[in-house]
Amino acid sequence: MKKIINDPENFVDEMIEGITLAHPDLVRTPGSDPRILVRADAPLPDRVGIVTGGGSGHLPLFKGYVGRGLCSAVAIGNVFSSPSSEQIFEATLAVNGGAGVLYLYGNYGGDVLNFDLAADLAELEDVETRTVLGRDDVASQPKERAEDRRGVAGIVFAYKAAGAAAERGDSLAEVAAVAEDIIENTATMGIGLSPTILPTTAKASFDLPDGEMEIGIGIHGEPGIHRGQLETADQIATRLVHPLVEDLGLTAGDRVAVLVNGMGATPLEELYVLYRRVHHIAEELGLTVEKRYIGEYATSLEMAGASISLLKLNEERLALLNAPAESPFFREG
């Protein structure tokens, strides 16, 4: 696999440097550690800060959602690796405006451990924190074990809503409640068509023979729930959407936001072909699509594939999605 990189060991730091050089009006590094990014105007007095984080390799996920009306800071790890507790703690202090800090990130063991350690460090500095975990991957656990699900692309909805709540001046408890409400009403399922090639090893993260697909695959190549011959876009959309509808208990008359997310190597044209069928399924079920997001929102380097996320909407959730926001990779309003 050919890659446009220099020394693989410098891949993450050079990528982050590129982001800060390209978007100095939106993000900055608050100290000497280049793997901590904060919004350019942080900290905001009397506003809740929102800190996210995770491994590299998922851009724009994590580091791409730092900005106005979104996250306040991100701590960045190596490819598919957690940031350290010290980095998360430093990010916490950098965006603490006196109203507390929400930790909003995906439900993965290493991330949970290090964010919990950072919360302990923050408590010693009298900084109040709350934690909400992204856990929208319905393929990773059944409904009765939803608390143990992985966090995937659907966390973008939580970034947007929680960021809007923080921007309008909600308390830490209120911002956390908004994020939790979004997570509980979001469901995602993905499909993989080819593996990721890790920059440091030049090896595939998993094996998937030519002509096959894997339904329910995770963003690190975690095993899915079905592997078989590649199907048509319409068949794939049907496989992905109906479990989401069932999981969320959607019925005729409900309103939804739809996120069709590319994993890194799937052309935008194919994502629109996929969305076409998603939209038709929604119409057939009597659902109204109020918001649509089609593109790359949570990738896995150059994995080919896509995921579909549904968010059940009410007036409050829709208003939060529609609130203004701006980051290097996202804009609303």
- The DSSP string of 253-295 is T-EEEEEEEE-BSS-HHHHHHHHHHHHHHHHHTT-EEEEEEEE
In a domain, 193, yes or no: yes
Domain CATH for 168? 3.40.50.10440
Residue 264 and residue 126 in one domain: no
In a domain, 5, yes or no: no
Residue 91 and residue 138 in one domain: yes
Count the neighbouring beta carbons within 10 Å of the beta carbon of residue 208.
19
Residue 145 and residue 220 in one domain: no
Residue 46 and residue 194 in one domain: no
58 is annotated as an active-site residue: yes
Catalytic residue selected from 58, 226, 279, 280: 58
Helix (H) or strand (E) holding 102: strand 101-106
Helix (H) or strand (E) holding 192: strand 186-194
Q: Give the pLDDT of residue 65.
A: 98
The predicted model scores a pTM of: 0.97
Residue 147 and residue 86 in one domain: yes
Question: Could you give the CA distance from residue 172 to residue 176 in angstroms, rounded to a whole number?
Answer: 6
In a domain, 4, yes or no: no
Q: Give the pLDDT of residue 320.
A: 98
Question: Which residue, 148, 124, 145, 155, is CA-closest to 54?
Answer: 155
Residue 194 and residue 164 in one domain: no
Q: Give the pLDDT of residue 66.
A: 98
220 is annotated as an active-site residue: yes
Longest dimension (CA), the chain: 55
In a domain, 71, yes or no: yes
Number of structural domains the chain divides into: 2
Q: Give the pLDDT of residue 200.
A: 84
Q: Which runs of consecutive H residues, i.e. helices, occur in the chain?
A: 11-22, 85-95, 109-124, 155-167, 172-184, 233-248, 268-284, 315-322
Q: How far is CA 80 from CA 27, 204, 209, in A?
A: 22, 13, 23
Residue 247 and residue 277 in one domain: yes
Give the CA count within 13 Å in the CB-facing half-sphere of 285. 21
In a domain, 2, yes or no: no
Question: Could you give the CA distance from residue 112 to residue 271 in angstroms, rounded to a whole number?
Answer: 32
At CA 264, angle to CA 51 and CA 155, rounded to 5? 30
At CA 329, angle to CA 55 and CA 300, rounded to 5? 35
In a domain, 1, yes or no: no
Residues 6 or more apart whose CB falls under 8 angstroms from that of 102 comprise 48, 49, 50, 51, 129, 130, 131, 132, 162, 166, 172, 175, 176, 179
Domain that holds residue 223: 186-314
- The DSSP string of 305-320 is EEEEEEEEE-HHHHHH
**Token couple for 242:** 């109906």
Catalytic residue selected from 220, 242, 279, 280: 220
Residue 75 and residue 192 in one domain: no
43 preceded by cis ω (within 30°)? yes
Residue 269 and residue 229 in one domain: yes
Residue 197 and residue 179 in one domain: no
In a domain, 263, yes or no: yes
Sign of the C-alpha dihedral computed for residues 142, 147, 151 and 152 taken in this order: positive
Answer for the pair 49, 55: CB distance below 8 angstroms, yes or no: no
Instruction: At 73, give phi and psi (nearest 5°).
Output: -160, 160
In a domain, 180, yes or no: yes
Q: Give the pLDDT of residue 279.
A: 98
pLDDT per position in the chain (333 positions), as tens?
789 999 999 999 999 999 999 999 999 999 999 999 999 999 999 999 999 999 999 999 999 999 999 999 999 999 999 999 999 999 999 999 999 999 999 999 999 999 999 999 999 999 999 999 999 999 999 999 999 999 999 999 999 999 999 999 999 999 999 999 999 999 999 999 999 988 988 888 888 898 999 999 999 989 999 999 999 999 999 999 999 999 999 999 999 999 999 999 999 999 999 999 999 999 999 999 999 999 999 999 999 999 999 999 999 999 999 999 999 999 998
Residue 274 and residue 203 in one domain: yes
Residues 6 or more apart whose CB falls under 8 angstroms from that of 250 comprise 256, 285, 287, 310, 312
Domain CATH for 226? 3.30.1180.20
Residue 128 and residue 41 in one domain: yes
